Amino acid sequence: MNAFTAPITPQAERHLEALAEELEISSSRYEAAERSYTSLGEWLHRPTSTVLTYDPQVYVQGSFRLGTAIKPISEAEDYDVDSICEFRNLGKFSLTQQELKTKLGVEIKAYAKAQGMNKPVEEGRRCWKLQYADGAQFHMDIVPALPNEGSMRLLLEQKQLDTSWANTAIAITDNQHTSYEIITEDWPRSNPKGYAQWFRAKVVEVRTRGLFENRAKAEVEAMPTYKIKTPLQSAIMILKRHRDLMFADRYNERPISIIITTLAAHAYKGEETIGKALVSILNGMENHIRYDAQGNALIANPTDPLENFADKWPLHPERRDAFFEWLRAAQNSFLEAAMHSDRRKITDAVARGAGRVIAERAGDKAFGVAAPTVLTSGLVSSAAQAKESAVRLEGGGRNA
């Protein structure tokens, strides 16, 4: 599809801003998630904990850390809170992946029982899943992990690649990994802290652009990422909702969030409104896919250049095709909306991407709004109240 080059209309700007507000989850949801993994961290550090000596640190990862979580399509769906439990005093030659996962599983099952959780703890491929009560409307996936800085740094140095993010690298468990049951250096790699820091740098940079007072900048930097709402985060939320709707019946083919988020962050040029950011991202994200000599797509993890987020595409070409099918559909919906000034035409275009009900609600809200939000120093006024939360959410300490 040809790039959209016309100026986005003020009416479309307002509608897309209202759409992002409709998708955004409340602060109370983030705070409930924070209380949950904080509580688990405290449980793992109680005096009778069987893993206390390993210094387990629980911290959130994924969309709840990045501030890109969205409301489920249906009230019957759960929020998915992804977290890590990193055992800081263990190494890969101390035990197998299976043994590490079992150790954490014992404690999580005991925690669920002590908390009176009626739903059973489930084992996933890489994680343990805690199912909260129906009223909470979320579950927490906890991935067991070990520090992996030394191995990661050595690997990257051997390949003459950037080692900037090696200090936050971890090794994780995967019950389908060939070395799952043996003691070995070969563990699956991950770096959710590093990725969150990379993404946050883009978020903080645009939020503090033009704020020349040191106090204002310091306040923004103290805020948890989910409180520093930028057009980048809002655009990603809109794109994720479009993806969820489009692939509601084709879940295994749907483009994964990490690919959407990474390409969007690369394509984002610091636009100060949601509409302009969305247009820029949809026009540019495809340009950040590289290809090897065999024509296979490369979408590198910015904190681990040896990891390719599109590595499953050669084995599952339907996933590659689904990504470009999704991108074209998103372009058709939102770039069309961007060119209209008529409320009905904008709503119809947005409805194709986000759903009719939410598009209509956004339209009702948008056309009573004077103008789209731009970035000003006034948007950081709540930063001081967020500092304590920032330490917990963005840290990685015992109760993070």
For 32-87, what is each residue's pLDDT tens digit? 888 888 999 999 999 999 999 999 999 989 998 999 999 888 776 778 889 999 99
CA distance 14 to 343: 10
Alpha helices in the chain (DSSP H): 10-23, 27-44, 63-66, 97-114, 149-158, 192-208, 214-222, 231-246, 257-267, 274-284, 317-339, 343-354, 356-366, 383-394
Residue 179 burial class via C-beta count within 10 angstroms: exposed 0-12, middle 13-18, buried 19 and up: middle
Q: What is the 3-state secondary structure (H, E, C) of 235-248?
A: HHHHHHHHHHHHCC
State residue 202's pLDDT score: 80
- φ and ψ at residue 190, rounded to 5 degrees: -160, 165
State residue 132's pLDDT score: 79
Low pLDDT (below 70) residues in the chain: 1-6, 76, 133-136, 204-226, 368-400
CA nearest neighbour of 86 among 25, 47, 36, 40: 40
How would you classify residue 147: left for phi > 0, otherwise alpha for psi between -120 and 50, otherwise beta? Answer: beta
State residue 399's pLDDT score: 35
What is this structure's pTM? 0.85
**Residue 85: beta bridge partners?**
58, 144
- Is residue 313 a contact partner of residue 319, using CB atoms and an 8 Å limit? yes
State residue 6's pLDDT score: 65
CA nearest neighbour of 143 among 214, 220, 251, 57: 57
Residue with tokens 């120093």: 377
CA nearest neighbour of 394 among 218, 226, 215: 226
User: CA torsion angle for 109, 40, 227, 380 (degrees, to 10)?
Assistant: 180
Give the max Cα distance, the chain.
64
State residue 224's pLDDT score: 65
Looking only at the bridges linking them, the beta strands covering 304-308 and 300-301 are: antiparallel
CA nearest neighbour of 359 among 336, 379, 327: 336
- Is residue 89 a contact partner of residue 103, using CB atoms and an 8 Å limit? no
